[in-house]
Amino acid sequence: MSMENYFNKLTNSIRAITEENFIGIYIHGSLAMGGFNPDRSDVDILVVVKNSLDIPTQCKLAKFMLANSNDPYPIEVSFLTQKQLENWTHPSPYEFHFSEGWRRNFETELLTGQYEAINVNHKVDPDLAAHITILNHRGIRWEGPPIDDIFPVIPRTHYLSSILADFQDCLKNVEADPVYCVLNLIRVYWYVKEGVISSKLEAGEYGLTSFPQESKETTQKVIESYQGNRVREFHKEELTSIRDYIQSEIGQLEKESTV
């Protein structure tokens, strides 16, 4: 199936579930920025609706996502109302969210009827500041009003707060998930240093041209693994070395910004 057919099918199904509440569907992430890898990338989308989603509608969305995510690509989606976007706060509230990390929760809740993840009064997600920033700069409107007409401009402090939270996680988990974490660490560093919003692949290419030689070699291995060309073994020393280099560089940039 072509990506056009894939998104048309996805859009038609979401519109059918949300009915007259549907406003638009928008693509962000690697697919929007040209770094999509069919073997490891998520399809990242935001859906805008007019009003809050009731529990029956959220259950229908959960069933749909469980059946269609990973067929063939994993889906990460957040639903937001017009009001949530117009009255922007960080971390942002949202109506419904699905990603593969939530699969087991939704399967259990639909089976037991205990809708804890669905029926939450104060659902917020700090990642939305990053998703919407990327959408504003490099996103794709698949269906609905223009991006500038529907999404707010996210303050830089909110975007930084969002990506630095993920940055801290990657500092801890670089050995457990070297490909994602190294590329994400570079991506955050590039933004802090030069204000560039990039895909993971673009960040890796930046590291190849900008880092010391020992870090370039690790970056090359990470890029090759991300692209699926070949899987190479990562050693603890090289991962901690590139992690410490990036952390030190960002620390220096933060010091300079306060002088």
- Position 259 scores a pLDDT of 53
Tell whether 111 and 11 lie within a shared domain: yes
At 240 the pLDDT is 97
Q: Which of 111, 135, 153 is the last residue of a domain?
A: 153
118 shares its domain with 191:
no
Do both 94 and 65 map to the same domain? yes
Q: What pLDDT score was predicted for residue 254?
A: 87
pLDDT at 36: 87
pTM: 0.93
Count up the domains in the chain and report the number. 2
Range of the domain at 163: 157-258
Which residues, 6 or more positions from 196, have their beta carbon under 8 angstroms from its beta carbon?
A: 190, 206
Low-confidence ranges of the chain (pLDDT < 50): none
Give me the CATH number covering residue 98. 3.30.460
pLDDT at 35: 83
Looking at the fold, whether 29 and 69 belong to one and the same domain comes out as yes
Same domain assignment for residues 50 and 141: yes
For 129, residues 6+ apart whose C-beta sits below 8 A from its C-beta are: 90, 91, 92, 154, 158, 159, 161, 162
